[in-house]
Amino acid sequence: MNNLKIGHVDLDTSHPQSWIPILRELGHEIVGVYDGGTVYPKGYAKEFAEKNNIPQVF
């Protein structure tokens, strides 16, 4: 399988923090994150990205 560049969309679904180490172990790169703000407050996506070493927030 080829390595993928992945963007995480909507942080309130599917336990996103749990998927990050799995995806990275498989050789994929998490390049960005977006959260629509339905569950978490404004700014949460930036905090999430910083905590998980994700370079871009949309």
| pLDDT value for 13 | 80
**Number of domains observed in the structure of the chain:** 1
N-term to C-term CA, the chain: 27
| pLDDT value for 2 | 87
Per residue in 1-58, pLDDT (tens digit) is 689 999 989 998 878 899 999 999 999 999 999 999 999 999 999 999 999 999 999 9
Instruction: Tell me, rounded to whole angstroms, the distance of Cα 23 from its chain centroid.
Output: 10
Please state, in angstroms and as integers, the Cα–Cα distance from residue 38 to each residue in 31, 42, 53, 55, following that order.
22, 9, 23, 22
Which domain, by its residues, includes 45? 5-57
Q: What is the pTM of this model?
A: 0.87
